[in-house]
Amino acid sequence: MYVYGPVPSRRLGRSLGVSPIPLKTCSYNCIYCQLGQKGRVQVRRESFYPKEEILSDIGKIVNSPNIDYITFVGDGEPTLCKDLGWLIGQCKEKWHKPVAIITNSSLLSMEDVRHDLKNSDVVLPSLDAGNEEVYRTINRPHGSIGFEEMLQGLVDFRKEYSGKIWLEVMLVKDVNDSDKSLMEINDAIKQVKPDRIYISVPIRPPAKPGVRPPEPGRIIRAHEIFGTILDLTDYESGEFGFDNYPDARTAIIEICSRHPLREDQARDIETRFSESGNIDSLLSDGSLVRVEYQNMAYILPNNFIGIPSQNI
């Protein structure tokens, strides 16, 4: 299944998520990634799945009420999908819904990627570093991608793209939250000239042990240095859409295979289906595991943990 939700999104309201790529297929291997440690790091664009199948999956849910955006987000980096431009065009033509793309920015240096995104309404790129060293530490990109090349891709995209750019900066304690790092990131932001800047911090269990959100004082300092910021440092709220799921068990497994799910949200899902016992039985048979992060309990699939990355 390529489509999930609609899910509550802090930036996009009720967002119908579309993942046109296999789980954790990405050009980065970020230390804060919520998709676990296993994965494939690549820069080669591919048609991972038949594009018509993806479109047909979107078509089954897209007319659910209150969908604010069709969001290509991927369980990794969605611009790795070679068919992204076609999919965006088809969504706009068939359903006239706003289309958003969440990207890590790494492939915007490729002309075909920038071209593919041109019909979308909003692009939400990441920019977590202001120099090569921090970039390598926090994003751990594929060996062929350099910081300057990535930044130039973002700058070129800004010049060519007529939609909105909502830039996101993920701040990690002791990695990119010093004054020096924040000022270098701000220099890079000024070159990109986004329509909005969001600051974000790790709120779900990260790929690398020890990754923590900055102290509140550092977040305030980031506000001062970056100027106006809409803050993503809080938890998302709102209801998941369940029209696509036959029962609570399927919904919980499907949603938490996309990202760690707060235990309270998982228990809400059971209540919505008037069911009980699913979570406890999935935890006791080892299909799901419970992980504590920042005093919050999350559940995630067992296979999210502990397999090293590959490079392609």
Footprint on this chain of ligand SF4 (rule: CB under 6 A): 26, 28-30, 33, 35, 76-77, 104
Question: Phi/psi at 262 (nearest 5 deg)?
Answer: -60, 140
Cross-strand partners of 300: 289
Please count the other Cβ atoms lying within 10 Å of the Cβ belonging to residue 200: 18
Q: Which residue has the tokens 């269990």?
A: 205
Rounded to the nearest whole angstrom, what is the least distance from the CB of residue 303 to ligand SF4 in the complex? Answer: 16
**In angstroms, what is the minimal distance from the CB of 27 to ligand SF4?**
7
Q: Of the two residues 249 and 258, which places its CB atom closer to ligand SF4 in the complex? A: 258
- Total Cβ atoms within 10 A of residue 64: 15
CB nearer ligand SF4, residue 30 or residue 256: 30
Which is nearest to 294 in space by CA: 231, 224, 235? 235
φ, ψ for residue 233, nearest 5 deg? -80, 5
Q: Which is nearer to ligand SF4, 201 or 269 (CB)?
A: 201
Q: Minimum distance from CB of 299 to ligand SF4 (Å)? A: 19
Shortest Cβ 26–ligand SF4 spacing (Å): 3
Cα 214 to the center of its chain, rounded Å: 20
Q: How far is the CB of 28 from ligand SF4 (least distance, A)?
A: 4
Tell the smallest beta-carbon distance from residue 36 to ligand SF4 (Å): 9
* Closer residue to ligand SF4 in complex, CB, 204/262: 204
Distance of CA 16 to the CA centre of its chain: 13
150, 122, 111: which is closest to 28 by C-alpha?
Answer: 150
CA atoms within 13 A on the CB side of 280: 3
Query: Minimum CB separation from ligand SF4 for residue 8, in Å?
Result: 19
Locus of tokens 């090569």 = 132
Cβ proximity to ligand SF4, 76 vs 205, nearer residue: 76
57 vs 77, beta carbon nearer ligand SF4: 77
In whole angstroms, what is the distance from residue 171 CA to residue 301 CA?
A: 26
Closer residue to ligand SF4, CB minimum distance, 33 or 150: 33
The tokens for 22 are: 């296999």
Neighbours of 102 (CB within 10 A): 23
